[in-house]
Amino acid sequence: MVHWSAEEKQLIASVWGKVNVEECGAEALARLLIVYPWTQRFFDNFGNLSSPTAIIGNPKVRAHGKKVLTSFGEAIKNLDNIKGTYSKLSELHCDKLHVDPENFRLLGDILVIVLASHFGRDFTPACQFAWQKLVGVVAHALARKYH
């Protein structure tokens, strides 16, 4: 089980409390598809992904980004059992979606950068540390059921 200090929990919660899940989720997913274009392989049916502008404006990208980040919220509500929270999603990503777990790490890092650009100096080193830890734990949990 992952140990979270009181400070880490507080830093995670305080940032999360200010996050617009729809905007942030959309932005993080769009950046994943832009910065690491090979990740587009998982989204053949999303329509126009031909340029950064197209990706950012794509309604399917926005909707899916929101879905992904909403799911992140579940992890934050269940910091003491992220493994359990993501058990089914892990199986899904392996068996149905066939996503290489490396992509979870990429998305996690991108999310941290998105938060940094939104929160500026409020995204302190301690904040970054807590969030890098969180995205790492989520990535690990999502990869756990792979076989």
Partner 1 sequence: MLTAEDKKLIQQVWGKVGGAEEDIGADTLWRMFHAYPPTKTYFPHFDLSQGSDQIRGHGKKVVTALGTAIKNLDNLSQALSELSNLHAYNLRVDPPRFALQFLAQCLQVVLAVRLGKEYTPEVHSAVDKFMSAVAAVLAEKYR
Give contact residues for partner 1 (rule: CB under 8 A): 27, 30-31, 34-35, 52, 55-56, 109-110, 112-114, 116-121, 123, 125-126, 128-129, 132-133
The least CB distance from residue 126 to partner 1, in Å, is 7
Q: Can you say whether the dihedral through the CA atoms of 86, 35, 46, 117 is positive or negative?
A: positive
Measure the CA–CA gap between 84 and 81, rounded to whole angstroms.
5
Name the minimum Å distance from CB 92 to partner 1: 27
**Minimal distance in Å, beta carbon 115 to partner 1?**
8
Nearer to partner 1 (CB atom), residue 27 or residue 85 = 27
**Burial code of 20-46, b = ≥16 C-beta within 10 A, e = fewer?**
ebeebbbbbbbbbbbeeeebbebbeeb
Question: Toward partner 1, which CB reaches closer, 40 or 87?
Answer: 40
